[in-house]
Amino acid sequence: AQTVTQSQPEMSVQEAETVTLSCTYDTSESDYYLFWYKQPPSRQMILVIRQEAYKQQNATENRFSVNFQKAAKSFSLKISDSQLGDAAMYFCAYRSAEHSGGGADGLTFGKGTHLIIQP
Amino acid sequence: NAGVTQTPKFRILKIGQSMTLQCTQDMNHNYMYWYRQDPGMGLKLIYYSVGAGITDKGEVPNGYNVSRSTTEDFPLRLELAAPSQTSVYFCASKSRTSSSYEQYFGPGTRLTVT
């Protein structure tokens, strides 16, 4: 079974600064997807960014980018120019690309990192 | 489009009671999922469905049942509620097409069992 580990329960950053959230995962599969989800106090799960394991290029979405290190099984999220609206729980998630049943198409989540933005 | 809708938003149950959490999506997605989120934790997969009439267990299925009689609806049934089932429940859906990656989540149902 796959596992996802987020070692930082809480991170704090000054507004307009850059912050990096860590995520590591364990899998024996070679083809998979990785995601970062944002959960604000409203509880809504919002997809921030995704990465396909077969792509070497790191994904970027505006102020959000990832550092994907496949060999190290690491998938960190960098938020540039942090804004007050970025304050939320951030979850790293894994999904197998192999539709072999047994819940393989569902997401496996880490425990989350609470991001605080200091004004 | 309403996306994924869940009812109710909040519910308090007594131990031993039963209830059904409703989930509906209007995006014609084949895949649907139920997750639970315990305090301070990530989401865990309870059940999932790849199409009408097909369901399968996820990581934490005990104490729950599901059905999928239509593409749109995927209700989650709790029988004999227990305090351990106090959690926030999320329904999600995804297109079956290979180019689609994103699971769309509903707003969640906060359930308390006392």
Q: Name all domains of chain B by residue range, CATH numbers in brackets.
A: 4-96 (2.60.40.10)
Residue of A nearest to B106 (CA): A44
- The tens digit of pLDDT for each residue in B17-52 reads 999 999 999 999 999 999 999 988 899 999 999 999
Q: How many domains are there within chain A? A: 1
Residue B59 sits at the vertex; the CA angle it makes with B94 and A100, to the nearest 5 degrees, is 60
Pick the more confident residue, A53 or A99: A53
Yes or no, beta carbons of B41 and A111 under 8 Å apart: yes
Residue numbers of the domain that contains A27: 3-118
Residue B96 has pLDDT above 80, yes or no: no
CATH of the domain at A68: 2.60.40.10
> Does the pLDDT at position B98 exceed 70?
no
Question: What is the pLDDT, as a whole number, of residue A99?
Answer: 58
Fill in the amino acid letter for B4.
V
Distance separating alpha carbons of residues A21 and B63, to the nearest angstrom: 35
Report the sign of the C-alpha dihedral through residues B32, B37, B41, B46, in that order.
negative
C-beta of residue B86 within 8 angstroms of C-beta of residue A31: no
CA distance B96 to A22: 30
With an 8 Å Cβ cutoff, are A106 and B56 in contact?
A: no
Range A56-77 average pLDDT: 96
* Separation of CA A95 from chain center: 12
Bigger pLDDT: A104 or B46?
B46
Lowest mean pLDDT among A41-50, A91-100, B29-38: A91-100
Q: Which residue has the higher pLDDT, B16 or A103?
A: B16
Question: B95 falls in which pLDDT band (50, 70, 90)?
Answer: confident
**What is the structure's pLDDT at A46?**
94
Count of C-beta atoms within a 10 Å radius of residue A76: 17
Is pLDDT above 80 for A104?
Answer: no
Give the model's pLDDT for residue A96.
Answer: 85
- Say if residue B83 is preceded by a cis peptide, omega within 30 of 0: no
pLDDT of the residue at A101: 45
Among chain B, residues having any CB pair with chain A shorter than 8 Å are 31, 33, 35, 40-45, 48, 50, 56-59, 88, 90, 92, 94, 101-103, 105, 107-108
